[in-house]
Amino acid sequence: MKSWYQMSVEETVSEFESESSKGLSSAEASRRLVQYGYNELQEKKPEGFWQKLLNQFKNFLVLILLAASVISLLVGESADALVIIAIVILNAALGVFQESKAEKALAALKRMSAATSKLIRDGNLVVVPSRELVQGDMVVLEAGDYVPADVRILESFNLKIEEASLTGESVPVDKNSQELSQITPLAEQNNMAFMGTIVTYGRGKGIVVATAMQTEIGKIAGMLQSVEQEPTPLQIKLEEFGKTLGLLCIGVCAVVFAMGIYGGYSDGILSLSEIQHMLMISISLAVAAIPEGLPAVVAIVLAFGMQRMARKNSIMKKLHAVETLGSVSVICTDKTGTLTQNQMTVVKVFTASDLFTVSGHGYNPEGEFIAGEKPVKIDTKQELDLLLRASLLCNDAELKSLDDQIWSIVGDPTEGALVVAAAKGGYIKEAVTSLAPRLQEIPFDSGRKMMTTFHYTAEKIRAFSKGAPDILLSRCTHIIEKGTVRSLTEIDKQAVRAANQEMASQALRVLAVAYRDFEQVPDISSPGEVEKDLVMIGLVGMIDPPRSEAKAAVQVCLQAGIRTIMITGDHPTTALAIAKDLGIATKDQPVITGQALDTMPLEQLQQQVRTSSVFARVSPEHKLAIISALQNNGYITAMTGDGVNDAPALKKADIGVAMGITGTDVAKATADMVITDDNFATIVSAVEEGRVIYANIRKFVYFLLSCNASEVLTIFIAMLLGWPIPLLPTQLLWVNLVTDGFPALALGMEKKEPNVMRLKPRDPSEPLLAGNMQVLTGIQSLVMSITVLCAFQYGLTANNGNLDSARTFAFIMLMATQIICAYAARSEHYSAFQLGFFSNRYLNMGVGLSFFLLVLSVYSPLQEIFRTVQPVLNDWLVIGALAPIPFITAELTKFVRRCFK
């Protein structure tokens, strides 16, 4: 029995058709041939040593607390014991819920970043998620694509695939459609393309014979165990924060316990019950203070923020990218499709005898060719007729009608513009290609800057070439004028160059079109020997107008202290015209070309990138050099790219940004983020969202630290003053559950602040809570603890030393101050009154729920559990007067900072 890789195309198609003949649709039948889908490897969360230690220590403390509760239960103190057990269970349930939400959110993000594949279904070229591939699908492979499944090659045009990930062979392998007649080693199966390998050259088609875990790479993946990931910079900072806070809290709690034992609290004689009480207090304080839920909440904040970015066409593939986005100081961007609309439209056509203006807009194939002021008939202009046919044949794009008014291009936008122009002249691609079928091709590459296809026309072989005008002109020896081919003179060359310069000065992208006749299809192994002695047909000028939102986005970058640098392969004049229109470059700013970069010393390049904003006619190698020079100057760079050769620059950049529409699979896999609409404004929006996410994490951490520190300080200061302990273990645990849960998590959903894109990029080396935030945290926690102690002392005085009443005041005050201070934590710059108290509905819901639980703890059967008494009206007036003090202090601190800023 033949193995699957020996199966002939006929057998595969036969099996596919036999399933389809059962009355199912072709798609449904193909899905029944194989159960597709990846078994995702379970990723272990990067968790640092200190975070593990603290979590384990907290678990240990929880066990001690539960054991102490059981002892209390046995000696008859059932109320406290049952309450502590219930709160511990609630805390654990909340932790499990947070972990589950984080896992689900991150899983959703993984699904968003799924790769796509180009297929031919029902005769149409379509793009589908790679996970939907099934046996029998016809896959189109092009340079830069990852092979999405194991594919039997049917057609091959100079197809080369790099299979190092599978076979270890570093040299790309030539692929063809020849059937193998015997068992062949994996590395020698030249008629197969294997999943996970990379198309480096040419193009081809093939039929899917295995997907997912049935592929060769899938079989290897099935044998792998999960891989431990390295922690991201943000996780390292969180671990450092957790270590510092946790150890500090543990130390203070140990001191609290020691002070309680030393003090005696009973005329110098310490009873067993008092020791047990101090132990419960200390352990409860430690359990409440250690931020074991911080990683889960941060994961939720990150995941929801990343989902918001995904809804704005930015898919973050790597966690550290979110943090780095807030530090970006330079965005290096391509021009075509990113700063412009990516709907190239031919507006000028130059031939030796005429200059034509082309009407119409976008991809709509309605328009006319105008010479002077009058429309012309194509059949009366031989060079125009030849140019349109040539540009249509030397072309891989297709024009699709989505409905009667909406047209789209499948393929490269530049090639699409030529298809649309030909359609305006009455040429339909299917009809033209049927009369001149393609026999061979030399695909476009960035080194040659041209593409050539070979066709059978009128009993001869004709090669059509298109590419950069300066490159093609150097390869031409003849020109066609009014149907006659003659030698290309210096005057002709000057006329072509002048037309090219004139179009480029109008921000047009210009392509030259030429041809050459052969008696037979030549050997294309040496393109330079084939693509010479060409006959110049003419030039095509097309415009890709700037996106209306790009200009505004560039201005936002300027306000945010972010430079925008255009790096493009286009003509320098075209690049500068677009850059000036968008505000990237000034009129007198020079354009640095790839040719200049080739001879520029490293020191000069590092100096040049500080002031230059436009780089034109550059290769992917130049992009890498520019990124390195910027980084050497201390810039945090974001770099856009779409091609295979852009991968090194994307990897080198601090944030690699791949284009979702025009980007190759290699670029998308290498990048840190993918923008699905290829829009520069989306990159700026992602930078803004990255700043918002990081700011929200800081707000949550600040609030958490202030609340936990105030609890510790309240107990610690009371003992230093020789007062009774203001809070019971059950009260401490309940406060921690109520305030650290709902309001804190809601801070992670905070909307962006008005000044988020008017601040300078953040220094990546700064701690999670920078100096000002540390000061604010210290002030806030100290004022909260003092306010709680004042309420406690008032309760003692007003109720003749009744400890339960005093503790009720402290309990209510601690919860109230923390809940109210959540509003102050919404911004470290703006007042809560400026932001508005109703702009974060999640916070309002969390605060409302927390206040409801506060009221329940004093006006319900829970009163017995928490040993609270019901305050009277005068008591509530005092509470109402004291509770806002920490909030007012935080607002005044921000006001003073704004005044002296």
Active-site residues: which are they? 334
- Helices (H) and strands (E) in the chain — how many of each? 33, 28
Alpha-carbon Rg for the chain, nearest whole angstrom, is 35
Say how many Å lie between the first and final Cα of the chain, rounded: 80
Task: Give the CA angle between residues 5, 7, 11 to the nearest 5°.
Answer: 150
673-675/655-659 β-pairing: parallel
Place of tokens 């061979």: 440
Question: What is the distance between the alpha carbons of residues 190 and 169, in angstroms, rounded to a whole number?
Answer: 13
| C-beta pairs of 167-172 under 8 Å, 24+ apart in sequence | 172/200, 172/201
CB 791 within 8 A of CB 813: yes
Q: What are phi and psi of 100, to 5 degrees?
A: -65, -45
Closest by Cα among 323, 258, 249, 315 to 286:
249
Place of tokens 């003659």: 486
**3-class secondary-structure state, position 201:** strand
CB 422 within 8 A of CB 384: no
Question: What is the distance between the alpha carbons of residues 143 and 160, in angstroms, rounded to a whole number?
Answer: 8
What 3 state SS string does 619-665 have?
A: CHHHHHHHHHHHHHCCCCEEEEECCHHHHHHHHHCCEEEEECCCCCH
Closest by Cα among 686, 655, 685 to 671:
655
Residue type, 614: V
Question: What is the distance between the alpha carbons of residues 550 and 544, in angstroms, rounded to a whole number?
Answer: 13
Task: Kindly state the tokens that stand for 40.
Answer: 């995702």
DSSP state at residue 394: S
Question: What is the distance between the alpha carbons of residues 759 and 559, in angstroms, rounded to a whole number?
Answer: 8
Q: What are phi and psi of 361, to 5 degrees?
A: -145, 135
b (16+ CB within 10 A) / e for 841-851:
eebbebbebbe
CB 344 within 8 A of CB 414: yes
Phi and psi based region of residue 86 (left: phi greater than 0; alpha: psi -120 to 50; beta: remaining): alpha
Task: Give the CA angle between residues 450, 451, 453 to the nearest 5°.
Answer: 155
Question: What is the distance between the alpha carbons of residues 795 and 562, in angstroms, rounded to a whole number?
Answer: 55
Residues with Cβ within 8 Å of 596's Cβ and at least 6 positions away in sequence, in order, are none
Question: What is the distance between the alpha carbons of residues 516 and 841, in angstroms, rounded to a whole number?
Answer: 69
Task: Kindly state the tokens that stand for 414.
Answer: 């530049």
Residues with Cβ within 8 Å of 187's Cβ and at least 6 positions away in sequence, in order, are 163, 167, 169, 173
CB 538 within 8 A of CB 495: no
In Å, how far are 315, 317, 323, 473, 646 from 669, measured between CA atoms? Answer: 12, 9, 19, 37, 11
Closest by Cα among 749, 878, 748, 724 to 816:
878
Residue type, 480: I
Q: State the DSSP string of 22-71.
A: TT--HHHHHHHH------PPPPBP---HHHHHHHHHHHHHHHHHHHHHHH
Cα four-point dihedral sign 599, 604, 607, 608: negative
**3-class secondary-structure state, position 464:** strand
Count of alpha carbons within 13 angstroms of residue 139, beta-carbon side: 32
